[in-house]
Amino acid sequence: MTMRGKAGAHTAMLLAAIAFNLKKLLKHRPAQHLSLAVALPNPPPPLGTLPFQLRTRSCGGKRQPAKQDENSR
């Protein structure tokens, strides 16, 4: 990068300083992490369920008969 004059030298020094600081910033890894984990107790099981019961599908009660259209009569 060839530059002439004081203004060109000043610009070159600014670009070099920016590149140096950017390189330092990208390499920086903080040693301390600011995180906190709290262990919560397990929730109680829902009422009426036991651990040995099998889960089955429920049919949802009685089925409704299919409705007929007025045009199909």
Question: Ramachandran region of residue 5, left (φ > 0), alpha (ψ -120 to 50) or beta?
Answer: left
Res 70: pLDDT: 65
Q: Do 11 and 3 meet the contact criterion of CB atoms below 8 Å apart?
A: yes
Residue 73 has pLDDT above 60, yes or no: no
Tell me the mean pLDDT in the region 23-43.
83
Q: pLDDT per residue over 35-67, tens digit each?
A: 778 888 988 877 666 666 556 655 555 656 666
Res 8: pLDDT: 92
Res 71: pLDDT: 66
Percent of the chain clearing pLDDT 90 (strictly above): 32
21 sits in which H/E element: helix 5-27
3-state secondary structure of 68: coil
